Amino acid sequence: MNAQPHHSVDRDHARPNGMDDATVEALGELSKALETIHRVRGHLYSAHQLVGGADLTLDRVVKLLREAGHDETADRVEHELLGRNLLPGRWTFQIVEEFDDGYYAAFQEIERDAREKLADGRRHIYEAEMKERRRTHGMPGHEATPKE
């Protein structure tokens, strides 16, 4: 089926002529998957900052343990935990860099390439058509575009 977009869908989000529903849906799902990967990236950066903050807190832990006379425990925290790799050979910044340069970059490039080849580079066609179907024409807050 080749559903034609409503005239209110702006040009940047309008379905190119001849684009079928299956392609619109597939690109919508690919976009949804990429959005999930953007969230994963954010969680990795959160983990990076949390682990880094915890590691810096260990300096105070070591100091307090020493002041309390627990040198053996302070030594263990200082030598076995402080500055330890999260994964073999990697601190979190290295994990984030590998993710960014590998999986994340590939995902973004493949999604962009699919949009270029299949949708003239247009983004969010599926969502724009859903918005058009779900909005109430003429009601405040239901405009198709900011200019309407």
Per-residue pLDDT, 44: 98
SS3 category, 90? strand
Q: Could you tell me the two tokens for 141?
A: 């807050």
- Look at residue 1 and tell me if it is in a domain: no
- Look at residue 144 and tell me if it is in a domain: no
Beta bridge pairs of residue 90: 87
Per-residue pLDDT, 5: 47
- The set of residues, in sequence order, having a beta carbon less than 8 Å from that of 84 and lying 6+ positions away, is 55
**Number of domains into which the chain is organized:** 1
Range of the domain at 82: 18-129
Rounded Cα gap, residues 109 and 49, in angstroms: 27
Q: Which amino acid is located at 38 in the chain? A: H
- Look at residue 11 and tell me if it is in a domain: no
- Look at residue 83 and tell me if it is in a domain: yes
- Look at residue 79 and tell me if it is in a domain: yes
Per-residue pLDDT, 9: 77
Residues of the chain falling short of pLDDT 50: 1-2, 5-6
- Look at residue 12 and tell me if it is in a domain: no
- Look at residue 7 and tell me if it is in a domain: no
Per-residue pLDDT, 114: 98
Least Cα distance to 132 among 5, 26, 1 occurs for: 5
Per-residue pLDDT, 43: 98
Burial pattern 40-64, b for ≥16 Cβ within 10 A else e, equals: ebeebeeebeebeeebeebeebbee
Neighbours of 89 (CB within 10 A): 7
Burial pattern 16-31, b for ≥16 Cβ within 10 A else e, equals: eeebeeebbeebbebb
- Look at residue 32 and tell me if it is in a domain: yes
Per-residue pLDDT, 8: 62
